[in-house]
Chains A and B, each alone.
Chain A
Amino acid sequence: METFLLLMNGIGTALVPLNLGLLIFGCLIGLFVGAMPGLGSVNGVAILIPITFIVPPTAAIIFLAAVYYGAMYGGAISSIMLGIPGASTAVATVFDGRPLAQKGDAITGLTAAAVGSFVGGTVSVILFTLFAPPLAKVALAFNAPETFALMVMAFATFVGLGGDDIPKTCFSILIGLVLSTIGLDLISGQPRLIFFGIPGFLHGVNFLVLAIGIYGIGEMLWTLESTKGAVQISSIKFTFKDIIQGFRNLKDTVMAMTIGSFLGFFVGILPAAGATPAALMSYGITKQLSKNSKDFGTGVPAGVVAPECANNSASTGSMLPMLTLGIPGSPTTAILLGGMILWGLTPGPLLFTQQPEFVWGLIGSLYIANFFTLILNVALIPAFIMVLRIPFAILAPVIFVLCVTGGYAPTQSIHDVWLMLLFGVVGYVLRKLDYPVAPAVLSIVLGPLAEKAMRQSLIISDGSFNIFFDFSIKPIAATIMYIALVFLFLPLISVMKNKLFPKKT
């Protein structure tokens, strides 16, 4: 009851004209920032921080959270319409969103993204409202061994779901893992795999550089080859009925929404994970558990819903460790945290009791931001669809420019632009040879997290792997680890079964 009153107060705070105006403005900026490759919520929030000095802290956090939130929606737009991940969090949205658009069903893709984001955002903010303080304790109990077990589970789902060709999937995962080890080694402090001594490799291979290269450039080459520069989809009918149909197409995505919302939130509250791994893991697990997992990657609505649901859910979730522990759960919340400190607030266990107006105003604003972005997105679908009417000969240079800026922005180094173009060509060749590229993208995101967690655990356990498998040492880690092993071996068992006992025809 007390929570309810606090929440109502919070929603009241968010509806104050100044706050509401900033919220709507923030959502719009976020949509734009998210949709533009290379801007992304991190840069958006960082650029806007100085503006927030002129308003009170509550209004400031509402504004920045709205930008963050809007960006989670916006990232899906360019992923679906252009095949370029607009933001790192929307990479998994490309996997099925792009094929949907190419099949002429972009409306379903965009509706799935909007609704998925709304559901994920709403579920997570409810979880946040009800369970924030106890969940903060869960986040504290989730240390290195648990994190590593969770990462193993994520990899296991991806091995399993290559489905048709496990060796090629493993190859792709390993390529990603090798790329993820480039740069500075966290434990020994030594540089690793600095090819030809080029200093640009010191900061490692940014995962957006790989994703934009493979999907943006690779996709562009592929489309140019197949369409010869013509309009991609000749006739796009667009009526109100189509949007209704788009909503209907989502009836099979309940499981994706459930997995995306809860997994997303959970991964989000773990410090230093954030929305990108959440979206990728949610996609993998949904695919693994789906009845028609073979169709994933060819354009199924559930493949869009799962990551979109998860990234919104995780973005709310990652505010929890930021507010209660003072630890950012994602790069964007790291900037938000910097902002809070500048506004004179000390994040930490006492923030909820010392600054209730600030905390609950933020939570209240998330409810309202959710509604507003859903309406905005559905209303703007006709405008987004227009993109597909442009001949590809005109669209391709635009995509190319967006890719180059997107590759340059994260680290501001021209080295990464060349690398991105190289990955584009490699991605195109891999596609021609029928290699799945999604696992490589997954492993470059999760690889560093997994490596760090494993090595931290092994230092603590003096090199003993029991820390991951022994229930008496780390029960949570062991449980997750065994589930992961089941995920890993299930598909192998079914493959072997088919080989040993071929079905009689």
Chain B
Amino acid sequence: MNLLKKVAILFVSFSLVAVGTVSAKDFKPKKPIELIIMAGQGGGADEIARLVQGIAEKNDFTSKPLIPINKPGGSGGEALTYVKGKSGDQHTIMITLNSFFTTPQNQTELGIDIIEDYTPLARLLTDTFMVWIKKDGAKTSGINTLDEFLARAKQGDLVMGGTGKMSEDELLLGMMRGMFGFDAKYVPYSGGGAVAKGLIGGESDFTLNNPSEQMGFYQSGDSKALVMMTPKRNPAFPEVPSSYELGYPDLEYYMMRAFVAPADIGAEAQKYYTGVLHDVYMNNEFQKFNIDDGKLLSWIEGYGLSDFFAVEYDKHSEIVAAFN
């Protein structure tokens, strides 16, 4: 009797374990997965979304295809509202950028709570920013260092090209204004590529582009980078000094490339998508592409990501408040 009992308990516990592993492992998408992009076509988030889609599809990381859909309206407000409304939908994920923190604060009428309304999946990358000038710019010729640039900028007549009102680079300009006491005219363009072209075309005097956006002009020698806003130099731009070595450790800012899903999708689906993203993250092609592009590989997932969101949200509310 005793033996039978033991066997039965053993059997039951085994089957429980088996069921447990099966259910945790066994979420499989039943239809194509919508990959919402909270920015327009051709921008940085779009580029990463399509890279992830391409690598996932090439290597069969997902059993169903990922369908990228751009919803750039309202600085990403449209995408945030859309995914919030999809609560419980296991076939939608979204790539986010820093407007994930700023848009809910600038458009409080949307009623977005970034911790409650979304399931965190993973952060794959962080992108950084650099100060760019044209090689022989009308007002910036002969400038080779950040300090020379700051001295010139204090005259107050420089034009900066940027990616849009209250976007990362305008916030960053606000930060620099507070730090260095200069001001510049901010002209918004649509997208980082157009910003880069405006600089080379002589319409603006400087930009705060991401590394990849100026890569082509940098390699051809048409543009110069004065500082990289990180503690260390970036291997893709070995001769550009970091803000730390120039003695401005406060000049540090990152753009995140992270993925979230709608709320209440369940632990299995969360685990599944995090796993897919991790497969992509570990892929050689993905790593090489991003290192060459000057991006930083920076994986965090789950609760770590929630904490990161909370910290960044507060940090951005300070920047936004200082800006207004």
* A57–B106 CA distance with the chains assembled, in angstroms: 42
Return chain B residues, CB-CB under 8 Å to A334: 41-42, 46
The 8 A CB mask of B205-216 against A (1 = contact, 0 = none) is: 000000000011
Residues of A within 8 A of B198 (CB): 143
Q: Are A183 and B54 in contact (CB under 8 A)?
A: no
- Given A338-B47, A412-B69, are A140 and B190 also a contact pair (CB < 8 Å)? no
B77 touches A202 (CB 8 A): yes
Interface centre among A143, A184, A412 (most CB of B within 10 A): A184
Q: Which of A327, A331, A337, A349 has the most CB of B within 10 A?
A: A327
**Binary contact readout B192-208 vs A (1 if CB under 8 angstroms, 0 otherwise):** 01101110111100000
Q: Which of A42, A341, A344, A351 has the most CB of B within 10 A?
A: A341
Q: Which residues of B contact A335 (CB under 8 A)?
A: 41-42, 50
Kindly report which residue of chain B lies nearest to residue A338, judged by CB atoms: B50
Q: Which residues of A contact B216 (CB under 8 A)?
A: 325-326, 346-351
If the complex has contacts A143-B203, A202-B78, are A188 and B165 also in contact, measured as CB distance less than 8 A?
yes
Complexed CA–CA distance, A72 and B51 (Å): 27
In the complex, whether B2 has a CB less than 8 A from a CB of chain A is: no
CB-CB under 8 A from B185, the residues of chain A are: 459-460
Q: Are A187 and B41 in contact (CB under 8 A)?
A: no
Whether, in the assembled complex, B189 has its beta carbon less than 8 Å from a beta carbon of chain A, the answer is yes
Task: Tell me, yes or no, whether B6 is within 8 Å of chain A by CB.
Answer: no
Give bound CA distance, A328 to B41, whole Å: 10
A37-54 CB contacts (< 8 Å) to partner B: 42, 46, 49-50, 53-54
B73 at the interface (CB under 8 A from A): yes
**A272 in contact (CB, < 8 A):** yes
Q: A143-B201, A328-B42 are in contact. Are A459 and B51 (CB under 8 A)?
A: no
The smallest C-beta distance from B294 to any residue of chain A, in angstroms, reads 12
Question: Which residues of chain A are within 8 angstroms of B69 by Cβ–Cβ distance?
Answer: 412
Once the chains are docked, how many angstroms separate the CA of A459 from the CA of B198?
14
B57 at the interface (CB under 8 A from A): yes
Asked if A452 lies at the interface with its beta carbon under 8 angstroms from chain B, I say yes
- Which among A50, A189, A325, A347 is the interface contact of B164 at CB below 8 angstroms? A189
**B275 in contact (CB, < 8 A):** no
Q: Which residues of A contact B188 (CB under 8 A)?
A: 186-187, 456
Q: Are A327 and B196 in contact (CB under 8 A)?
A: yes
Report how many residues on chain A are interfacial, defined by Cβ distance under 8 Å.
51
Residue contact B165 to A140, C-beta cutoff 8 Å: no
In the assembled complex, the Cα of A335 lies from the Cα of B202 at a distance in Å of: 26
Is A141 among interface residues, defined by CB-CB distance under 8 A?
A: yes
CA distance A233 to B187 in the complex (A): 55
- CB atoms of A191 and B74 under 8 A apart: yes
The docked-state distance in angstroms from the alpha carbon of A189 to that of B103 is: 10
Tell me which of A190, A346, A412 contacts B215 (CB under 8 A). A346
- Alpha-carbon distance A202/B200, docked complex (angstroms): 32
A331 to B203, CA, bound (A): 23
**CA distance in complex: A271, B190 (Å):** 11
Contact between chains at A350 and B219 (CB < 8 Å): yes
Partner of A189, one of B68, B165, B289: B165
Tell whether, in the assembled complex, residue B47 and residue A341 are in contact, meaning their CB atoms are under 8 Å apart. yes
B47–A144 contact, CB under 8 A?
no
Measured between beta carbons, the chain A residues less than 8 angstroms from B197 are 140, 271, 321, 325, 327
Q: Is B166 interfacial (CB 8 A cutoff)?
A: yes
Complex Cα gap A368–B46 (Å):
32
Q: What is the chain A residue whose CB lies nearest that of B200?
A: A140
Determine whether A204 belongs to the interface, using a CB cutoff of 8 Å to chain B: yes
Taking CB atoms, residues of chain B closer than 8 Å to A350 are: 216, 219-220
Q: Which of A311-356 contact B (CB under 8 A)?
A: 321, 325-328, 331, 334-335, 337-338, 341-342, 344, 346-351
Contacts known (A143-B203, A199-B81, A203-B78); A459 close to B187, Cβ less than 8 A:
yes
B212 shortest CB reach to chain A, Å: 8
- Cross-interface CB contact of B222 among A188, A191, A338, A349, cutoff 8 Å: A349
Instruction: Collect the chain B residues with CB atoms within 8 Å of residue A349's CB.
Output: 216-217, 220, 222
CB-nearest residue of chain A to B65: A50
Neighbouring A residues of B167 by C-beta, 8 Å: 189
- The answer, yes or no, to whether B5 is at the interface (CB within 8 Å) is no
Residues in B150-180 with C-beta less than 8 Å from chain A:
159, 164-167
Q: How far is the CB of B117 from chain A (nearest CB, A)?
A: 15
Given the interface pairs A53-B54, A187-B165, the reply to whether A338 lies near B193 with Cβ below 8 Å is no
Q: B71 at interface (Cβ–Cβ under 8 A)?
A: yes
Please tell me if the beta carbons of A202 and B47 are within 8 angstroms of each other in the complex. Answer: no
- How would residues 102 to 121 of chain B score, 1 for a CB under 8 Å from any chain A CB and 0 otherwise? 00001100000000000000
Contact B73 A202 (CB under 8 A): yes
Q: Cα distance A412–B41 when bound, in Å?
A: 15
Q: Report B155 CB to chain A, min CB distance, Å.
A: 15
For A321, the chain B residues whose CB sits under 8 A away are: 197
Residues of B within 8 A of A452 (CB): 190
B231 at the binding interface (Cβ < 8 Å): no
For A53, the chain B residues whose CB sits under 8 A away are 54, 57-58
Please give the distance in Å from A340's CB to the nearest CB on chain B: 11
A342 near B200 with CB under 8 A, answer no
8 Å CB contacts to B: which residues of A404-445?
Answer: 411-412
Enumerate chain A residues within 8 angstroms of B194, measured Cβ to Cβ: 271-272, 327
B75 CB-CB contact with A under 8 Å: yes
Complex Cα spacing A379 to B248, Å: 68
* Bound: A202/B81 CA distance, A: 10
Asked if B72 lies at the interface with its beta carbon under 8 angstroms from chain A, I say yes
Apart from A189-B167, A199-B78, 15 more pairs, CB < 8 Å: A50-B53, A53-B54, A184-B75, A187-B188, A189-B164, A204-B73, A325-B197, A335-B42, A335-B50, A337-B42, A338-B47, A348-B219, A349-B217, A456-B188, A460-B159
Give 18 A-B contacts (CB < 8 Å), ordered by A residue: A49-B54, A50-B58, A53-B58, A54-B58, A140-B200, A143-B201, A184-B75, A186-B164, A187-B188, A203-B71, A326-B216, A327-B194, A328-B42, A337-B42, A342-B54, A350-B216, A460-B185, A460-B187
